[in-house]
Amino acid sequence: MTSSFSNLSLAEPLARAVAEMGYESMTPIQAQAIPVVLTGQDVMGAAQTGTGKTAAFSLPLLQRLLKHESSSTSPARHPVRALVLLPTRELADQVAQQIALYAKYTKLRSTVVFGGMDMKPQTIELKKGVEVLVATPGRLLDHIEAKNAVLNQVEYVVLDEADRMLDIGFLPDLQRILSYLPKQRTTLLFSATFSPEIKRLASSYLQNPITIEVARPNETASTVEQRFYSANDDDKRRAIHQVLKTRGLKQAFIFVNSKLGCARLARSLEREGLKTAALHGDKSQDERLKALEAFKSGEVDLLVCTDVAARGLDIKDVPAVFNFDVPFNAEDYVHRIGRTGRAGASGLAVTLVSGSDARLVADIEKLIKKKIELEAIEYAEDQPRGRINDGRRAWREADEAGDGRDALSAGPRREREREHRGGRESREPREQHRGFRPAVASRDPFFEKPYEASAAADATPAWEAAKSAQRSSISANIKPKRKVAALFKAALPETSV
């Protein structure tokens, strides 16, 4: 199979756009999917965001839609011909931006609609007429009900990140949307896994699909140093302080399993002198962008996030990733730590494991096919004990109030509750993934640019500045166990180990 775009016979406007993007050869999913989609067959693809999947479906889809190109200004000449459904606003936005780039030299129009934003500007775009509509399910249904979107001329539908859509509880919405589409159409389904639910969805809505699979997300980069520390919930923040300090880390992502936990941890760390921002599903789009920008510019050192919120972020090469909570889903472990150690750069992934996490750790072990060694940390005396105790009280209070797990982990029930509380807009969940992520020109350099430490990021870390008077030697913080000593070796001068 060829891996060069030039052998695909793409129409000139598409080939030009691809050349402009700087793509030299096709990624594996592109090499496999593009020729199939060009024939109009249904596809069931196992591939994650970051594999070049968007181009894999959108280039052939645009090529097939070229026959409908029209320079007419009449909306009637621009009915929706292709519908791309994604689980979150960030993913939808990212995919729509890519499609707009691929289609820029054609007369085909594209737009995106997702929740959490005013419907009016989206309505104006829809009313003008678009051939390619990228959408999250909830908001699309809003537009369908408002008669802003008519889908009876759709020829192609893409169910992207289908597993996430089902996890979040979008199945009823998907079924409704699909019921509005013509039966005669091409359906492309992409999912990280082919779970029984995904297979059921495929058997209901795809016709003789060609199955395409690329590398499964169970491989962790060898450049990531993976550490698992046992830590009680009460000690986890101290563990973070400790590792940041002993490793001389300036910036990191910290993953948690719940929205409430996310907000609370960010507040606690901030109180303890670390410049921290929280990123979770209840944050507005604007707040998320601001948090991200602050992290990128070095104004913020720690970004505490849930899996769902973090999937929307295309930040790469973060120096370290902490799993404050062991993820419920082992694949999320791979996604989380994939944020660090990219492109040969070394990265650190620290997972804090409490007594009740044994099963989750076993799941990770199984997925990454590596034996996990739990290590211990002994804490320095200068850790912010008093504040930690305050935090402990806050944890207890929150436990009494019930936790706030993200929609993804809590499943459809919670999602429905949220929908009930806040109307359909609030049902738009939030997230996405990664995997192969080639360095390329992109329209939104903010999201696409690999992580680069800013000038501010090179400055003395806040925790160092705050505690320089109390600095203690590293060896005093560590239990005299060989494997733990080995852990910090890299960060220490030879003589101090």
Residue ranges binding ligand AMP (CB under 6 A): 21, 23, 26-27, 30, 49-55, 437-438, 440, 442, 448
Closest CA to 55 of 33, 86, 83, 88: 33
- Tokens representing residue 2 in the block: 């060829």
Instruction: Give yes or no for a contact between 205 and 446, defined as CB atoms under 8 angstroms apart.
Output: no
State in angstroms the smallest separation of the CB of 94 from ligand AMP. Answer: 6
CA dihedral 143, 144, 149, 153 (to 10 degrees): 160
Name the residue nearer to ligand AMP (CB basis): 30 or 191.
30
State in angstroms the smallest separation of the CB of 59 from ligand AMP. Answer: 9
User: Quick count: other Cβ atoms within 10 Å of Cβ 421?
Assistant: 9
Name the residue nearer to ligand AMP (CB basis): 51 or 276.
51
Name the residue nearer to ligand AMP (CB basis): 18 or 302.
18
Q: Rounded distance, CA 315 to CA 433, Å?
A: 11
State in angstroms the smallest separation of the CB of 418 from ligand AMP. Answer: 27
Name the residue nearer to ligand AMP (CB basis): 167 or 448.
448
State in angstroms the smallest separation of the CB of 448 from ligand AMP. Answer: 5
State in angstroms the smallest separation of the CB of 12 from ligand AMP. Answer: 18
State in angstroms the smallest separation of the CB of 267 from ligand AMP. Answer: 33
State in angstroms the smallest separation of the CB of 15 from ligand AMP. Answer: 13
Rounded alpha-carbon distances, angstroms, from residue 200 to 26, 96, 163, 189, 229: 30, 27, 12, 12, 39
Instruction: Give yes or no for a contact between 36 and 190, defined as CB atoms under 8 angstroms apart.
Output: no
Name the residue nearer to ligand AMP (CB basis): 68 or 443.
443
Q: Rounded distance, CA 126 to CA 91, Å?
A: 19
Name the residue nearer to ligand AMP (CB basis): 57 or 322.
57
Name the residue nearer to ligand AMP (CB basis): 245 or 433.
433
State in angstroms the smallest separation of the CB of 103 from ligand AMP. Answer: 14
The H-or-E segment that residue 456 falls in is helix 455-458
Rg of the chain over CA atoms, in angstroms? Answer: 24
Residue environment code for 282-297, b if the CB has 16+ CB neighbours within 10 A, otherwise e: bbebeebeebbebbbe
CA dihedral 181, 184, 185, 190 (to 10 degrees): 80
- Tokens representing residue 70 in the block: 């029209």
- Tokens representing residue 452 in the block: 């680069």
Name the residue nearer to ligand AMP (CB basis): 160 or 428.
160
